Structure 1
């Protein structure tokens, strides 16, 4: 999983096409830590490009996701992006290994 630090890295990640997962994570939030664990658990058995944005450390990138996709910022938050479009997103306790798998396989 790659960490995105700039809007250029976000552009490159999204521009590569196909299905990919993007996770917005707050390192100071226990709910986000639990969601991050679920995300990591899903990725262990998955073959899908994945990235993460640390919302406090890389705020401009996090804000760009909200602006670009028109999805209100939450943290934690996950997006399934397919060919540059958000196909699914959720946040907080709804981020589970099972929910991610169901979204990717839908």
Structure 2
């Protein structure tokens, strides 16, 4: 390794690592009914993310680094810029204020955990599973 790479890192090291979370893309309005029904059997997460926002990107990466509930929940990922209507429907159905980034835990058809920005914590989420 060259001195330059040892100080600044190689370009390979700077590439974002793949997520440890097995995200299910939330892209269709009908998926909301499916995930609400599924929440009666297993808790469901929804991570609402703005792909243009550095705060949202930081919150997402921080959550992914802390997340270790792989088999205990199904995790859905909502790109707010492409699917804002779905986000609006989530806010309407569950009576919650839209925020970005935002993490919701749905269990038995109800939101048990709702956090946004720096309040999104995987350890805090565990209390509601």
Taking structure 2 as the reference length, what is the TM-score of the superposition?
0.73
Question: Which structure has greater helix proportion?
Answer: 1
| Larger mean Cα displacement after TM superposition, 5-14 or 65-74 | 5-14
How is 1:13-92 mapped onto 2 (pairs within 5 angstroms)? 13-16=35-38, 17=40, 18-43=42-67, 45-46=68-69, 47=71, 48-92=73-117
CA distance in 2, matches of 1:97, 1:41: 9
Question: Which structure has greater strand proportion?
Answer: 1
CA distance in 2, matches of 1:33, 1:97: 15
Candidates 86, 98, 102, aligned match of 2:123: 98
Candidates 6, 12, 30, aligned match of 1:8: 30
1:48-71 C-alpha deviation (Å, 9 max, x unpaired): 111011111101111100000010
Larger RCO (CA within 8 A; separation ≥ 6) = 1
CA distance in 1, matches of 2:53, 2:127: 25
**What is the alpha-carbon root mean square deviation over aligned residues?**
1.4
Extract unaligned runs of 5+ from structure 1.
none
Higher Rg of the two aligned structures: 2
Q: Is contact 2:46-2:104 (8 Å) kept?
A: yes
DSSP-derived class of the 1:78 partner: strand
Taking structure 1 as the reference length, what is the TM-score of the superposition?
0.87
Number of aligned positions between the proteins: 103
Structure 1 residue 11: deviation in Å? 1.5
